[in-house]
Every structure is written in C-alpha cells, then in structure tokens.
Structure 1
C-alpha cells in the first residue's frame, strides 16, 4: 500500500520546479483504479498524513503544493502539513469551499503554523469571495497578513507592507527579543513583529522614550499635525500584584510614596477613563488632545518618568504589525512595560499604543530624521504588576495555580514545538508524568480538551507512578 502511495506521489511530483500537484484528487483515475481513497475525501483519515510524510522525503525539498479544486469544506486534511513540510513556501487552496477562519488554523494556528509561507492562494473560496462581495477586502487581507506574518503574496498580489527604509544600524542596545503578551487562556508566546523590519521598530522606541523622559518638547517633531493623544489612569491594584504583596513589600519601599492625583487631574485635561466619565461631555472633550502641539503640552504636564529601555529587555514587550486605513497600510505598535516615576522613585506599569505612518518627504518628522510620524498615541498608566505577565510559558493568574519548576521546563525543552506546549498544559492540569502525558495526547490526536476528558475517565485507574511528585511544581 505504501509503495502505491509513493508511486502516486511520484507521478504528481515535479522535482525541477519543486512542485507537488495535489489538485483534483477526487477525480484521479489512478487512485480509483488502485482503490485508494482520495486524501481530499471527507472520509480520509490517515491518507493526507501518508502523502505529506512521503512528500517530506522528496529531494529536493518541496517548495510548492497545490491543493486547488479539491472541494475542501474543512481544513482538517491539512492538520499535519506543517509538521511534515514546515518549510513550505507556496500553497494554493484555490477553488475549494473553505468558509471560516478556523479552517485556516490548521496551517496558521499555534499547533500547525506554516511559519515560512511566502505565497497563499484562496481565490474561489467563500472565506475570500464573501469578504470581497461585502466590501471587506482590506479586512480580509489584514486578517490573512496577521495569521501569516511571513506572507509576501496573497491571491497573486503582493501583501502591502509598511514601506519604511530600514536603517543600516539599529540604535537598540539589546539584540535579545522582547516577549509578547498573549491572552491568559494560552501560554505567553514570543513577540510578534510582522510586516515591518524589527530594527525600525526598536529604533523608533529607542529614540522616543529617552526624549519622553528627558525632553518631551522635542517630541513635537514626530507627531503628525492632526495626531491625537490621550492617557488614562487605572488606579486598581492588579490581583496578581495584590497576591504577591508588591505594593507593601520591603523590596519596593517607594510604592507608598506614589500619588494618583497628578495622573487623574494632570495633563491639561486629566485621565480619559471613559468608563468613569458618566456623561461629562466636557471632560471627554478636554481629555482628547488634537494635534502635535497640544499632545506635547499635555505630556509636559504629566509627572516625570524614567524608562529603563537599555536594561533588562524582559521588562518590556513589543507587538507591531500593519493595520489598514482604507487602502493605506499604517503600523500599530503596542508596548507593555514599566517606568520609574520621579521624584518618588516608585514604579508603575504602562501600556502604550502608537499608530504610525511613513513620514512624508518634507515633513517636520522627516526633516528631523524620523522615519515615521505618530498619528495616534494612547497611554494607560497602571499600578505596578511584574513583567511575569508576558514571560514565555504559563502565567499564574491567581493564587494556587501550578507552575513548572526550572527542572521540569528543562526536560520539556527537548520536546519539539508545538507538542511541548500541549504537554506542558496537560501536565500542569493533571500532574501526569511526561510518558503518560505524551501517551494521553497522542491517543487523542494531540487535542488537549479531548485528552483532558480522556484523563478524567481513567484517572482513578492510573498507577501512582503515572503522576509527578509535588516538588516538580511551584505552587
């Protein structure tokens, strides 16, 4: 049977073009003659995996695959595509019936990302055609670009990238990657900087924050004439910080010196916390600053700060990717981190979101060597909570949650991604040892929720040595 599949794959393989043609498989007479089930059939289970595994042995390596015109309603057949062909550069899904974003999760999601995909074709699928029909073409392109950061060509057209000229040298003092905050339901993942050169982002931030700390008036150059700026203060102490006792700890003696009044009423308009403005139109209007001059004046009226951007990089996380305003791509940059407030020397956390555009020739920003100008700047100041929130791996969100010890993490590091994260999640939820956790996931097709349901059914019959000891975890 395997020999038959190898022969069929060979018939479909163009070594010179490094192209595997898997189009119209349901109509393939050779498969029918040899009584082989089409990998594109809704009844196919192992057939796609067999084909992709055989394809992974081809020489030279497969660069392009076409799954066009296979009447695919679900993306299930692509579940193992990234596992066997992780370096795939070009993929055509033209003329299928894929209609939901979840169908692309098999090649764009955490469990099966085609991280080096350069070109994707979705023409003829409802997921694309309906978006175009409803005048949502840009939202479609943006959604695809977000899911596939490496993508350069979509449906035969270049992906619109933010057109910055990257500098030859970065002013960033650190070459270590930042870490990106993810949703609490999943493990923290590395930073996502897509659709723009990383050095451009670090250069902007590396210049912006020292000026914000030392010479806010000089920032007038980088704000567009019609830029907007606002800030809001969240005075509540985050639950995790309260659990850890940060604000009463002797390790943070200056936290008690901090006052919220300068943030709530300062900045020539006060905090723009819309949830607390209860119909005050004047307050809403005054707290949104229009134009670069008003933005800089408002910032000058806020407390002095010190952002240690040349220190430990893990204290900050950065996320950057293109967003569209009509047909024009701009850049959204979000920063999460901490700063020291002066003169108290207390620490606060912050979130800052910039919308950036290419600085036009002749603009004030370009004349002062800024590659970009700021269209929008939103600042949120929060009570300090440690940067553990975006450390890669699991995050404790309430007292009592288990975390793995460094020793357990080291053992898990030998497991390839994405299986490593699934095993870690299962182990933290069940305390199973590595062997049993792997068996449980394998027997449930690496579906975490199915594995958990399976565990609940059999846990009473498991031997004691199926579980890790207490000292394998940090409580």
Structure 2
C-alpha cells in the first residue's frame, strides 16, 4: 500500500508531457494550488494533480492555444476529422463499438496507420500511459493523445466514441496492471463520469488509493456517487463497492468546488480520505453543523435516495453532531421532578388498565396517534431485528394492522381525506380511552432508565383562566421518547409521546383520583425500533452499545452506565401525587422589578433566562452578590455550557 509521500510522488512525476511522452517521463501532474491567484478552483490553462507531500512543490504548465472543440476538449482539425471518419464510421452513424479494423474497407481508413486490431492499439496506448515504478495509470489530455489520434480512436465522451470503450479500458487495465493504486483522469473537460463507466472502473480497479479528476466540468456531487463506498452500486461479487481505500482526491478546476458545502459533501461520500485538493481533510465534517441544517439533513444527511443507499453500507454511528448529546432538557428542576413523577405514574397504569386513565384526560382534550412504518435507516444498516438477531428475536411477529384502522393512525403524510383526518382526532376522554384500548397491550421497561429520555418546560400563561376574571394558567409541555414491548408477540417498538399538562381543578375527577394535573393534549407516534444510544450521554455510549438489548435489567444497566439517573423513582411518584400546581407560579419572578433584574443579568452574563433567575434566587435577589458569584464561578469553569445562550 502506498504511503502519503509515495502517493505525492506518484502524482508528481509520472504524467506524459504534452508531446505524448510515456508515463515514466519527466512530466508531472501539475498542481494549481501553488499558482498565484489560482484560487480554489483552478483555471482552465492549469494542470492540477496530486500534492507533493515531501516538498510542497506544485508545478504548472500552460495548455497553449487550446481552442474549444468537442465535449472532451479535443482540438478541431484534421486529427479529429480523421477520427470522425475513421473506423467508428461516418458522422451521422450511431454510437460505435470497439471492433477489428482489419475488416474495415472504408477509404478513410487510409488516412492514418492502422493496427490489425483496436484491442492491440488500446493495449499499446495503456502501456504508454502506465508507470510501473509509480503504479500509476495516467489518462490525462485524452483528446490530444497522439496514439489515440494515430489509430482514430475517439476518447470516452466524444460523440463518435465507441460506447464500450471505457469498459474495455478498465478490463484491459485490470489485466495489465493489477497492482495500480493511482489514477488520473484530469484535464479532460468532461461534464460527467458516465462515459467512463464508473461502476466498471471501481469493480476493475478497486484498489485505487489516489485519484485526480481535476480540471473537468463536474458540477453535481451525485456524479461521484458511483465512486463512493457508501453510495456506489452494489457489486455482484459481494466485495466493497466504490473505492474503499481512497486516500487522496483532487477535484480542483471543477465547478462543484465552488459550492459552500463542497468539503462536507465529499467527506460524506469518502470517509477514508486524508487529502482533498492537496490539503488535509477531516472527514468528521460530514456531520458538522451548518446554517439551515434540519434534523433530516443530519441523519444521514444526503438526499432521500442517497440516504437510503448510504444507510445500507454504513455500519457506524455519526462522528460529530452540531451539539453534544444530552440525556434530556428541562427549564427548572421542579418541572423535571414533576414530569418524572407524572410519567412514573402514567405508564404503569397505561400498561395494566388503560380505562383507569379516563379521569386524567381533560373534558375538552385532544388525542391522536400516528405510525411510522418505515424501518429506521440505522437499524436497517445494523440489521437490528433481522432474522438472526438474538437480542430481538420476535421482531418478525410485529404487525401494523391494529394501528392502521379507520379511526387509528393519523399520519398526515398518508391520511389525505378530510373525513378520515377528523375521524382520527379524538376530542373527549371517552373517545381517547376507546382509541387507546384498541391498540395492542404493552409493557414499558420502566426499571431501565437508559430506555427513556424526556424533555420538559413550562408554558407561562398558556391556558385560559379556569375561573372568570382569573389569571391565565401555566401549562407544562413534556416530550418523552422510549420503547415498549408489544404483547403478546413480545416484539419491541419505539415511541414518542408529547403531553400538554394543565392543573387539575379542585374536586375534578383527576384531582379526586390523585392526579394533580390533567392531559389537555397528547400526540403519540409509534415507530420501528431504534437503539436508545441516540440520546445516551457521550460517556455512556460505549456501555450502552455493549448492552444485551431491550431486555437488560435495571441493576446491570445502571452499573454499566453510571450517571444516568432514573426518571421513574418511587419517591418522585409519591411527591408528584402530593404536588400543588402552585409550585410553578412560585418558580418564576412575581414582580415586574424581578423580571427586569433577570433581564439585566442576562444582558451582562449571557445566561439563559432560567439560569439567570436561579443565580438571583440563590443570592437573595441582590444583583451585586449574584454578579460577583457568577464571575467567580465562571472564572473557575464551574458553569456548564448549557447555562449560556448560544449565538
């Protein structure tokens, strides 16, 4: 395997000169990176090749008076004319194929010397373009190659080129140079790789480590998909697709390099790269943040079609996310404890007897659920739940028929008829319980805190006053993600549930049943199983990835994953039942003066509202003391990053 230094030498010294010297001659793949004013993309009169790792020397050569010609940049003139009228037929004929020119009686065949067989001519051409010492095949400036002109062979991409020419090249190259590790297709002015049969290229020469496509007209990133080990076409022999060993890639001089996400898109397709355009590249930028990113952009980050292909070949977790993974978000500790108590009481009842949840739904509540029947991409890539997956042996028994009914799933991407959208939105407690009872029975692993994560925050003055002339009510939004075992088949599904909770009025059915809150609105999504590693803190990723699966016990899991605290502890549930909703009002500034002080502290410290409030509250609302303590803690690095507003 070539070293980076060897790769640089390969692309420095082995290219033929413009007069047609062989690959072992003194000419080099000439770089544009060192040329003054060349910029990022390279110019048309510059030859760009691989970097010289030892000295950083970059050479440049003018292409001379290169006039525009065919799509591959060939020069107009007698050479091209003879080629068009040569063995591939006249100008108006269809695409040619490689054939034996000894049988061609066309008078135009006398315009240039001919070998008895074009295959022999191609062997001669390839042998002149290959450097044994450098293990490099140089296919630059094909339109100007004297050997091809001599035998009237049009290069791939030319309108009169043989349709199977590239396929023959790669087959011959594989036979003649099985040890080749470097390839240059630079300076050919082609707008696409399709004429070069990229799939046959990667299957014939799979060990390419260094590739130059510089100074062409490649615009779209998907032109490179067939070369990628993640998005390339699957090989019939089961071997890795694309160029799985590619280390150095040069694309300077192509329009695609001017795009803002150029490096990111290349890194996504070629995770093994160490050098791009003669500069080091960190392929982890494939998952880095960028303006306008959405959740769907980040995983897997390609177009929908490419994402599906990429997921099949990628068996790893994302390297970098825009923000660190956290176990859950909450604005106030009291809010977190309250929601933890609610969930700890809600799910056991949901698993045992859903009818007894009738009081907890508000009289004017809304409820709907939807199903996402598409298996998660990463689960598919890891073959989670596949036939021989011992950790999830019952996944094949799961069925969606109980969810997709006339009054069931309200997946608005599939439910288009207005009458069904109305029928699947449940607006009374009785209707909600009827819908819940129609779903399969479940068992949530509440004894394992690693299987769940929830976010919660308060919504001040969100609800209308419960009494005429009263103050608007504060609500809580809680979003919980987790998994459950579906009974009786014992298959495992993942779910997301979003609740809006409001205070239970005194004397209401919820209050009398021991619920200090009611569910004003709930939305549930049931989906295919995906691993809880998605929300595991960074320090616990390894232990979770080695866990025995969804059925692991709470004791062993908590021992393997220290720092993950259960949100369903019994003391929290007991405290929840005794909670007075007024605690939420007491958790916020009660006067305009306090609110102003919080805002002022925020402007000075860049703290979030909740942390600025906490800082003042813990310092008896004395601004000077609060600021002094903040500065001391900030200087010692004791304040976490999430305490600050991200700009």
The one of the two structures with greater contact order (alpha-carbon pairs below 8 A, sep at least 6) is: 1
The structure whose Rg is larger is 2
TM-score (norm 1): 0.43
Indicate the structure with greater strand content.
1
Normalising by the residue count of structure 2, what TM-score does the alignment of the two structures yield? 0.32
